[in-house]
Structure 1
Amino acid sequence: MLIDILKAYSPTNHEDRAIEVLKNYAYELGYEDIVVDEVGNLIASYGRGPISISFIGHIDTVPGELPVSFNGDVITGRGAVDAKGPLVAMFIGASLAKRFIDFNRFKVYAIAVTGEEGDSRGAKNLVKKGFRSDGAVIGEPSNNSIVVGYRGSIKMKIVCRGIGGHSSSPSIEATACDKVIDIWSRIRDRYRGYRASETSASLIYLRCGEESSSVHPRYGESIIDIRVSVDRSIRDIVDEISQLITISSCEYSILDYTNPVKVSLNNVMVRSMTRAMVKHNIRPRFTYKLGTSDMNIIYPIVTENIVAFGPGRSELSHSDREEISIDEMIKGIYIYRDTINEFINIYSAPR
């Protein structure tokens, strides 16, 4: 199943063929209701009860097709780790839990979303359409750890203007270039942390002046990627940065942002997955990720009971060495399956 889905190369915005392959497998796995929505998400489910648990993974990959191979132990290919491996394990694991389910009380979803490596249109459409669930697992490679938070992000554009003048003479005031670089230096010095509890900033675009010109730059712009601590809010960081941009004729705008997410270690999904891992003699570890994922989009609107977890070594994500072992896949499948069982046990316990 994974090999076939890896062969259906699916960079962001080109997921149709992979979705079709997965759809055929979803029928074989015994899902009762399978639909593809208007943005290409595949939503498979079984059961009809009022209490639901959802497994959500993305089927798109970063660009760069890789050869698909299997040596009897390890499967390679673009998306083997991020995140078709976790996605396939989810669909199989969730299907194996059917024997635990009282179909009149519970409903299980397995969802392949599109666009996660781009604008997250798949996850955003779930939110837009009012999808809700009592618990959710996001399928991302996690090195056998339970992910309980992701930093947020802000894409900020800085624009500065100057008055020009001949470059052979001293500038009457700071040039547009000087101003943009000065602001970047202030932001960089303020946000230098690379832990989940810290905020960091990266300069990803800079332009000012004209090539082969003898004029002090009149215009400069930069784009800064700010990764927001799991303990801070977008508003806090924007307010702080606005205090750093005090240079005349400079302004900022927010191009895009994603809220950070940090969940309680006592939430239902953390407890369910912890019990499932212990059942398989795996010591649960909790971690926060430095980047973002669809968990940032799903929480808290779809559910506050959420974690991210998946087979695979996250350090191989987006690399030319994406590979996942059969052993990793099998462990992931059974942990997903037993997470459903533990979720049901928690909801079925006397209150």
Structure 2
Amino acid sequence: MTPVDFLERAVRTPSHENVDAMRELLLDELAAYDPAVDDAGNVLASRGSGRPHVVLNTHIDTVPPHVPARRDGDTLYGRGSCDAKGPLAALLAAFDRISPESGRVTLAVTPDEETDSTGAHALDLGADGYIVGEPTGLNACTSARGRFQGTVELGGEGAHAAQPQEGANAIQAAAPVLDALDAYDDEHGPSRHAELGPPTLVATKIRGGDATNRVPSEAVVTFDRRSVPPETEADFFAGFADHVGVRVPDDVTATVARAERDTPFLEAFHTPSDASVVEALVAAGAGRPRPFGAATEASYFAADAPTVVFGPGDLAVAHSSDEYVDLREVERAADIVTDALAELVG
């Protein structure tokens, strides 16, 4: 198989609402390797045996809306061309080309990276290294910020607006919450990370009140947290709840809640540049290690083994109406991963 041939078929296969057709396409391509689909919908196939064990991972789901495939010379447009069917095509080609003689390679493709990552969370592969396919412009990305979302729910006491002293204004209590968001990292946050920079914490939505002549009894501030190592989800939510609790008025309650999600949030990670999987990719032609610009399922895998995010494409055009990938870059990515695997397990 060639990565370009597979990619053209993949981009013509919508996977923004349901991944079944895309999964079947992938299973057909892997038929010679006895692929399996686990209970979480992951597609799994392995070659070789023993250690080291290198896992190639990416995802088959895409964001809506579907954008039809269109080719213009060496450029392929369409939903998923960049994120992440282009990286998938490169990893699939490398998996097909390599014949491990001193280790094992597993291709593990997840079904819901763009939503709750239940597939990735279910994987327990015991690897020695991961290559996660995402659009990095052929750079070896060894770190990424985490992303948490949550709310501060404020409870006051309703009253007539003509008698505000009889109530407790939940919207006005949002002011110290906004101040608390601004002050949190200076007082409690992790230090600036050498590669990822400082963490961020910002309010993204606020709502409250139900009438123009009534003191509001409820307000909700929604926030977005971009974390850096070594902060964990548990550390942040516990610390931020304490931080907010001492700042709101005594007559208003404040509850910090994580956004509804069936799986853990994607935490920040960092892989040392001297890890064997990093060195193998760079020696094969990948760009020097740098951070990746978005949260990815690599977060789950980095807790298990050294993890690198790598692939063709530009993250800036992912999810856009003009999403595209340079097909020459897809082919080059396949070559780089093939050569890296030859060094690691060949």
Q: Provide TM-score, normalisation by structure 1.
A: 0.86
Q: Which residue of 2 aligns with 1:348?
A: none
- Paired with 2:231 and 2:200, the residues of 1 have a C-alpha distance of 12
- Paired with 1:235 and 1:43, the residues of 2 have a C-alpha distance of 31
Report deviation, 1:237. 3.3
Q: Which residue of 2 aligns with 1:285?
A: 288
- List per-residue Cα deviations over 1:328-349 (Å, max 9, x = no partner): 111101011011012137xxxx
Q: Which residue of 2 aligns with 1:207?
A: 207
Q: Which residue of 1 aligns with 2:170?
A: 176
- Paired with 1:39 and 1:181, the residues of 2 have a C-alpha distance of 43
Q: 1:142 aligns with which of 126, 136, 140?
A: 136
Q: Secondary structure at the residue paired with 2:172?
A: helix
Q: Which residue of 1 aligns with 2:307?
A: 306
Q: Is it true that 1:219 corresponds to 2:218 in the alignment? A: yes
Distance change (3 Å), C-alpha of 1:323 and 1:181: same
- Paired with 1:167 and 1:251, the residues of 2 have a C-alpha distance of 25
Look up the equivalent residue of 2:174 and give its one-letter code: V
Structure 1 residues 72-81 or 184-193, which shifts more? Answer: 184-193
- List per-residue Cα deviations over 1:245-272 (Å, max 9, x = no partner): 3213212123353321111111111111
Look up the equivalent residue of 1:266 and give its one-letter code: D
Q: Contact between 1:144 and 1:285, CA under 8 Å: does it hold in 2?
A: no
Q: Which residue of 1 aligns with 2:12?
A: 7
Correspondence list, 1:96-245, <5 A: 96-98=97-99, 101-102=100-101, 105-126=102-123, 130-171=124-165, 175-190=169-184, 196-210=196-210, 212-241=211-240, 242-245=242-245
Q: Secondary structure at the residue paired with 2:86?
A: helix
Distance change (3 Å), C-alpha of 1:162 and 1:153: same
Look up the equivalent residue of 2:258 and give its one-letter code: I
CA RMSD of aligned residues (A): 2.2
Q: Which residue of 1 aligns with 2:276?
A: 268
Report deviation, 1:71. 2.1
Identity of matched residues, %: 23
- List per-residue Cα deviations over 1:181-238 (Å, max 9, x = no partner): 430232035459998221112323322110x442100111122111112353445533
- Equivalences, count: 326
- Paired with 1:290 and 1:72, the residues of 2 have a C-alpha distance of 28
Q: Contact between 2:228 and 2:269, CA under 8 Å: does it hold in 1?
A: no
- Paired with 1:336 and 1:124, the residues of 2 have a C-alpha distance of 24
Q: 1:25 aligns with which of 7, 29, 51?
A: 29
Report deviation, 1:80. 0.6
Gapped regions of structure 2 (runs ≥ 5): 1-5, 187-191
Distance change (3 Å), C-alpha of 1:189 and 1:320: farther
- Paired with 1:166 and 1:173, the residues of 2 have a C-alpha distance of 8
- List per-residue Cα deviations over 1:266-319 (Å, max 9, x = no partner): 111111111111xxxx6x322123431010111223xx2211100001111111
- Paired with 2:223 and 2:175, the residues of 1 have a C-alpha distance of 11
Q: Secondary structure at the residue paired with 1:131?
A: coil
Q: Secondary structure at the residue paired with 1:269?
A: helix
- Paired with 1:171 and 1:25, the residues of 2 have a C-alpha distance of 70
Q: Is it true that 1:295 corresponds to 2:298 in the alignment? A: yes
Distance change (3 Å), C-alpha of 1:49 and 1:240: closer
Report deviation, 1:321. 1.3
- Paired with 1:285 and 1:109, the residues of 2 have a C-alpha distance of 25
Q: Secondary structure at the residue paired with 1:176?
A: coil
Report deviation, 1:240. 4.1
Q: Contact between 1:15 and 1:40, CA under 8 Å: does it hold in 2?
A: no
Q: Contact between 2:52 and 2:344, CA under 8 Å: does it hold in 1?
A: no
Q: Provide TM-score, normalisation by structure 2.
A: 0.87
- Paired with 2:88 and 2:60, the residues of 1 have a C-alpha distance of 7
Correspondence list, 1:254-265, <5 A: 254-255=258-259, 257-265=265-273
Gapped regions of structure 1 (runs ≥ 5): 346-351
Structure 1 residues 226-235 or 76-85, which shifts more? Answer: 226-235
